[in-house]
Amino acid sequence: MNEGIKNKELLLAHMSSAFSLTDKEIEELIALFTERKIKRRGFVLHQGDVCRHFTFVVSGCLKMYAIDPAGKEYNLEFAAENEWVSDLFSFYSEKPTGIYIEAIEPSVILQITRQNLIYLYSNYPKFNSTFRIIIERKYIELQNRVLQNISATAEERYENFLDQFPALASRLPNTQIASYLGITSEFLSKIRKDLAQRR
């Protein structure tokens, strides 16, 4: 089987988990997504560009992050297999983004443009519902993270990270996880050591 077709079948399986798709819907979905291979440290989005795509991760892992005026990096989100990533503000407003999306690992992604996504919304209400669910889940994830940053200890935030991304804990370096949690990598090492001793 052609690798590109196989990768799009993973997308179809993901989309079909919410709603069954007709042959015509499958045909349109396959036609409107474009595959890209991204090397480690390759960029899907640069700060200052307009986010033109909604991205589905077939394999690998991406990070979304911002950099403050002092040059410090803040990880906002990770997206691994079967997850979506986009700067929704830039994507829908067509204004420049303030963030980066970069591959932490060599990755294969499938992307759809704003124009083609709106075409799906307009012609196939099922896709409108599917992407609404995807965006709602992202909003809930962000809301929970904000609440954790307000009320949870660093150790609790790390344990929540393990619950949310169990497969990523061993794939990501301490520096990336620490940036996501808002702590230093040294403090993360201490948290990991303390948890290991208690278990």
Using CB atoms within 10 A of its CB, is residue 71 exposed (0-12), middle (13-18) or buried (19+)? exposed
Query: Which class does domain 3-125 fall in?
Result: mainly beta
Six token digits for residue 73: 């990096």
Is pLDDT at 92 greater than 60 in this prediction?
yes
Q: Please give the Cα distance from 171 to 136 (Å, whole number).
A: 27
Q: Please give the Cα distance from 18 to 128 (Å, whole number).
A: 12
Q: Please give the Cα distance from 161 to 165 (Å, whole number).
A: 6
Name the average pLDDT for the chain.
92
At 2, is the pLDDT very low, low, confident or very high (cuts 50, 70, 90)? low
Section 61-74 average pLDDT: 94
Q: Which are the contacts of 126, defined by CB distance < 8 A and separation ≥ 6?
A: 19, 21, 25
- Residue 47 · residue 100 · CB < 8 Å: yes
The helix (H) or strand (E) run that includes residue 34 is strand 34-38
Q: Please give the Cα distance from 88 to 46 (Å, whole number).
A: 14
- The DSSP call for residue 49 is S
Torsion of CA 46, 52, 58, 59, to 10 degrees: -10
Q: In what order do the strands lie in the sheet with 53-59?
A: 34-38, 107-113, 53-59, 84-85
At 6, is the pLDDT very low, low, confident or very high (cuts 50, 70, 90)? confident
Whole-number pLDDT of residue 79: 95
Read off the pLDDT of residues 158-185 as tens digits, 9 standing for 90 and up: 999 999 888 898 899 999 999 999 999 9
**Longest Cα–Cα distance in the chain:** 56
Read off the pLDDT of residues 106-162 as tens digits, 9 standing for 90 and up: 999 999 999 999 999 999 999 998 899 889 998 998 899 889 889 999 999 999 999
pTM: 0.91
